[in-house]
């Protein structure tokens, strides 16, 4: 039997259980992380030229060097711990460790939920790195004190999608009808039922779509009490709100397959075999518990600070990344 049949049956059963449609957040959760059908569990073809997408560590060493310099400037005396969340193929972690050198080497920890990617990481990094299934276990191994970083992690957290319809917000759901995936909109959302997001503070025009990654806030709230000391870098594509949605009435949702960018209805097809992603609303990340000293920089400005050079030219082969990617620096 082909893999398509059980996938379709799973979605039809889920649709029936949820009352006739699947809220987009749940669709994205299952499409990416279902243990049998999810993209990161079974469908990912790798990262890089032969995969579905490429991340900056694969293309450019400057990010690894910048993170290493940041870590050295913030590390405690004596034994110290460094955690990467969602390490891809392990290329970035390997670059960071090379840049640190053996004399500055921390105890390296990786938190990874994707079995295929964890296997690649272990092949590259070897036994001196420790893997954990979640942040709570990783922080327990560090006695709550660690420097933490992630690159292109938050964009893969499931998002709720809303649209302004006659000054009322409706939430997106998907429905399978006659073998096709169709959009449907749930009942109007009362103001009191809105998720906590800075995106609702802007008077958007009719038809504007926004994404709210409430799942990220829930995930971070779960492990944050175990983090006692250190600092965290969150690196991803996105922006503060409302600049995030400038000239983007349809929001930022898209899918990637074999380096092809798919938007609109095309992003819903290929359940479990395409990467789904949204741009990160960094205003939300700061509002959801960021300390007063939280700092948001462009990637180019962050690299300039670490290299003590003017901002520009640090990603000369890929200049658009210097502005499109942001770096959020926070403490416990």
pLDDT at 273: 85
pLDDT at 110: 98
pLDDT at 106: 97
66 near 303, Cβ under 8 Å?
yes
Distances 44 to 1, 11, 160, 178 between C-alpha atoms, Å:
21, 20, 23, 27
Q: Compute the CA torsion angle 55, 61, 65, 66 (nearest 10 deg).
A: -50
Q: What share of the chain is helix, strand, coil (3-state, %, to 5)?
A: 40, 25, 35
181 vs 10: CA distance, rounded Å: 14
SS3 state at 227: coil
Q: Which domains does the chain have, with CATH numbers?
A: 43-157+213-330 (3.40.50.12710)
- Mean pLDDT for each consecutive 10-residue tract of the chain (332 residues)? 75 96 98 91 55 54 91 95 95 94 94 91 94 98 98 95 96 94 94 94 97 97 96 95 96 83 85 91 92 87 80 52 84 90
pLDDT at 43: 56
14 near 30, Cβ under 8 Å?
yes
């Amino acid at each position: 039997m082909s893999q398509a049949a059980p996938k379709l049956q799973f979605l039809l059963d889920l649709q029936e259980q949820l009352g006739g449609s699947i809220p987009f957040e749940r669709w994205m959760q299952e499409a990416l992380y279902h243990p049998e059908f999810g993209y990161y569990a079974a469908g990912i073809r790798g990262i890089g030229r032969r995969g579905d997408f490429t991340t900056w560590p694969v293309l450019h060493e400057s990010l690894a060097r910048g993170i290493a310099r940041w870590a050295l400037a913030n590390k405690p005396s004596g034994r110290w711990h460094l955690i990467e969340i969602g390490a891809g193929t392990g290329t970035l972690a390997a670059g960071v460790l090379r840049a640190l050198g053996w004399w500055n080497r921390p105890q390296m920890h990786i938190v990874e939920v994707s079995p295929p990617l964890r296997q690649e990481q272990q092949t590259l990094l070897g036994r001196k790195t420790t893997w954990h299934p979640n942040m709570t276990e990783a922080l327990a191994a560090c006695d709550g004190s660690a420097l933490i970083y992630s690159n292109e992690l938050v964009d893969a957290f499931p998002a709720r999608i809303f649209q302004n319809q006659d000054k009322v917000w409706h939430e997106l759901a998907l429905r399978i009808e006659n073998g096709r995936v169709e959009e449907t909109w749930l009942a109007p959302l009362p103001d009191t039922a809105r998720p906590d997001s800075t995106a609702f503070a802007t008077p958007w025009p009719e038809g504007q779509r926004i994404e709210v990654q409430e799942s990220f806030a829930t995930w971070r709230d779960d492990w944050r009490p175990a983090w006692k000391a250190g600092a965290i870098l969150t690196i991803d594509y996105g922006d503060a709100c409302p600049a995030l949605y400038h000239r983007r009435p349809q929001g930022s949702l898209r899918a990637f397959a074999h380096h092809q960018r798919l938007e609109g209805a095309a992003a819903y097809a290929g359940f479990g075999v395409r990467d789904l992603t949204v741009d990160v609303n960094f205003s939300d990340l700061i509002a959801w518990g960021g300390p007063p000293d939280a700092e948001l920089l462009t990637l180019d400005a962050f690299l300039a600070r670490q290299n003590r050079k003017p901002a520009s030219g640090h990603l000369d082969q890929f200049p658009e990344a210097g502005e499109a990617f942001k770096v959020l620096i926070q403490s416990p």
